[in-house]
């Protein structure tokens, strides 16, 4: 299990580096799926099989499918790849390297072994619907708000012509939008 953890950790780090360096958007998203799978293996080796399954189902399944659909909908691959000049990478890399060194220093190398054994779905569910039931309700409200917000943002006017609209036609659109909403 320990070897499995380190192999999965190396795969996760390499795949994540590839995500932020690829210029082809679809390749980057597929590397992100690989990274999420590797993190799911890490969860499994840590004795959290329920969360490992959710990582695959929700992150790699639902969220990444949303990303890939958005890419297909937007036809982004036809864009010229947005290359950043190498000089723009140096400053952030140095600053973030300092941040990483501080984080590792703060974690402090000591010898806390992890708890042996699994924390299974039943214990997680008991905690989730026991002391954390208010959080579950808040998460449901957050998801409902996100659903309504995404629906509202993504589907605004049918014929926008936002570049140079006539004032009269803009007013007509607004009135039509109000009529449709009510």
Q: Which is nearer to other proteins, 77 or 175 (CB)?
A: 77
Q: Taking the complex as a whole, how short is the minimal distance between the CB of residue 149 and other proteins, in angstroms?
A: 5
- C-beta of 74: minimal distance to other proteins in Å? 5
Q: Least separation, in Å, of the C-beta of 29 and other proteins?
A: 7
Q: How far apart are CA 44 and CA 47, in angstroms?
A: 5
Q: Judge whether 55 and 71 are in contact, CB under 8 Å.
A: no
Closest CB to other proteins among 72 and 172? 72
| Least CB distance to other proteins at residue 147 (A) | 7
Nearer to other proteins, 13 or 172 (CB): 13
Cα 105 to chain centroid, rounded: 27
C-alpha distances (whole Å) from 27 to each of 16, 17, 63, 120 are 12, 12, 16, 34
Q: Which is nearer to other proteins, 73 or 181 (CB)?
A: 73
Rounded to 10 degrees, what is the CA torsion of 159, 150, 56, 20? 70
Nearest to 22 by CA among 97, 84, 104: 84
């Amino acid at each position: 299990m320990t070897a499995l953890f380190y192999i999965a950790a190396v795969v996760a780090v390499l795949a994540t580096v590839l995500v932020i360096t690829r210029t082809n958007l679809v390749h980057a998203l597929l590397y992100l799926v690989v990274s999420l799978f590797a993190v799911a293996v890490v969860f499994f080796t840590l004795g959290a099989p329920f969360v490992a399954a959710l990582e695959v189902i929700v992150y790699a399944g639902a969220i990444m499918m949303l990303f890939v659909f958005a890419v297909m909908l937007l036809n982004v691959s036809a864009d010229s790849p947005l290359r950043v000049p190498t000089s723009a990478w140096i400053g952030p890399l140095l600053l973030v390297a300092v941040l990483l060194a501080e984080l590792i220093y703060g974690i402090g190398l000591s010898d806390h072994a992890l708890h042996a054994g699994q924390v299974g779905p039943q214990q997680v569910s008991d905690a989730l619907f026991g002391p954390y039931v208010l959080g579950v309700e808040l998460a449901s409200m957050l998801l409902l708000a996100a659903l309504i917000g995404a629906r509202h943002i993504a589907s605004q006017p049918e014929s926008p012509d936002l570049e140079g609209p006539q004032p009269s036609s803009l007013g007509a659109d607004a009135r039509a939008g109000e009529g449709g909403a009510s």
